[in-house]
Amino acid sequence: MSVLDAARSWLAQDPDEVTRAELAAIVERGDAGDAGALADLEDRFGSRLAFGTAGLRGALGAGSNRMNRVLVGQAAAGFAAYLREREPGATPTVVIGYDGRRNSDVFARDSAEIFAGAGLRAILLPRLLPTPVLAFAVRHLGASAGVMVTASHNPPDDNGYKVYLGGADEGAQIVSPADAEIAAHIDAVAARADLAAVPRSDAYEIADESVVEAYVAATVLVAPAPAGAAGMRWAYTAMHGVGHETLQRILETAGYPLPTVVAAQIEPDGAFPTVAFPNPEEPGAMDLAYETASASGAEFILANDPDADRLAVAIPDAAGGWRRLTGNEVGLLLGWRAARTAHGGTLACSLVSSPGLQAVAEHYGLGFSATLTGFKWISRAPELVYGFEEALGYLVNPGTVRDKDGISAAVAMLGLIAEAREAGETLADVLARFADTFGHFASGQVSVRVDDLAVIGRIMAGLRAAPPASIGGVAVDRIDDLLAAAPGEPSGDVLRVWLVDGSRVIVRPSGTEPKLKAYLDVRGDSAADAAARLAALEAGARELVASA
């Protein structure tokens, strides 16, 4: 089928006036032989957004390679068929949530109607809410599955479709083979190319406020305010997302002082007008938070990403400005906090996160698990007490939410800071105490963004064909190729390079962006020694990736 024919077939089933008009205009130009229009159609219809363990995620627009009502409708119908197959003779329950991105509410309602039309019990959350509330609701409501319409911290023009499973999966995100099984059902729906024939019903339920209230109550228990919270001054940004309302309710119940908010970023806005990339890790994304914190005399800053499943923390620096802590720094502090009160169990992190968590686990006699990246894996660690990954994701309350949760992590961090204040310490003092106790760990990252994903494959193949003998002037001790991992060990397209001085470089393709990433970890005798080792390792990693 030509791309023009594929586009016409798509037009015939598209219920969205906006994308239909967008596509019709391109088809008209393509029919006239416009080369640019034909290239655009090739990009839109030459491939299809793949459904995987991360669900769906991509740019909004018409076409099989975009996020739109046709693609989402096909995904919902396919997922419904999977759930009916998974629970024969039963009536599966699906709870659906959505954030403040463009079309999130539309995609969520379409999904609810299609689930209901397929004979499932569909429950739509009452309004736009954080992703952790949806993850909580899957378990709280005893649902068979959950769907969250969000692209998290992706660029403004993106949206996505994240899937959770209940029952034995305990509300965690899907893993293999469920992803392939769901994808097969979605492909079968798409092959029929007749979305209008998919049954719909408005007999879905709207969840009442009790679901949100239950999440608030459970999250308050993470860290009710200790005495040290009195007089605490801090700043907060929701990054134009949905975190503020829910967080504020928790703060008021838990007894924490309310923050000074970044007014321009506190309300949900899918256009993200003050940031080019709504991710607290991106340069410039927290500039308004720094300004607000300085003007208000804040002691620290907390920031959520747009769907509030991630948390960033910033503290004053020696030059009078602000320093955002790395995800590893926050992850290790929260892991230390969890370990101090744990009575057995496991601390877990992704294999690209700081090895410092293993040192914490060993110090307290706890188990440790290094998993593949993503909370779909971290949340499945046996006897999990706490889990994190360096990309600002933290799981502090596995008894209620089996996914990263930037709101409960914020509450845990507030509790940690308040306890330090009681002892006359700042968060910088706590970081120093961690280093004195467990060692001076430092982490970095080298990322290479590509326009052609094939480039990443060529680089990984080159590194396997000609492994490095040294990186940054330090000899390589051994290389673990996780494509050939032993049974029971994490496996994937990952190279883990160990150097003779104990440093580590992990190279892997990004799971959500067109990037190749190299994660760097060192342990030094002092902060200065760790910084010097990291600088040399970073230079060596850049040279390694460039020459592969």
9 labelled catalytic? no
Residues β-bridged to residue 384: 346
DSSP labels, 201-236:
-S--EE--THHHHHHHHHHHTT----GGGTT--EEE
Give the count of beta carbons closer than 10 Å to the beta carbon of residue 295: 10
Is 373:352 a contact under the CB 8 Å cutoff?
yes
Distance between CA atoms of 81 and 72, rounded to whole angstroms? 14
DSSP tag of 255 = T
**Tokens describing residue 324:** 């955002």
Is 308:238 a contact under the CB 8 Å cutoff?
yes
DSSP-based three-state secondary structure for 387: strand
Is 79:143 a contact under the CB 8 Å cutoff?
no
Q: Annotated catalytic residue: which of 152, 354, 379, 503?
A: 152
Is 163:145 a contact under the CB 8 Å cutoff?
yes
Of 424, 337, 450, 344, the closest CA to residue 388 belongs to 337
The region, left, alpha or beta by phi > 0 then psi within -120 to 50, assigned to residue 69 is: alpha
Of 396, 255, 233, 252, the closest CA to residue 330 belongs to 396
Q: Based on the number of CB atoms within 10 Å of its own CB, is 356 exposed (0-12), middle (13-18) or buried (19 or more)?
A: buried
Distance between CA atoms of 531 and 522, rounded to whole angstroms? 9
Give first-to-last CA distance, the chain, whole Å: 38
Distance between CA atoms of 233 and 298, rounded to whole angstroms? 5
DSSP tag of 264 = G
Is 495:463 a contact under the CB 8 Å cutoff?
yes
DSSP-based three-state secondary structure for 59: strand
Is 495:516 a contact under the CB 8 Å cutoff?
no
Q: Name the pairing type of β-strands 56-59 and 158-165.
A: antiparallel
Active centre residues (catalytic): 152
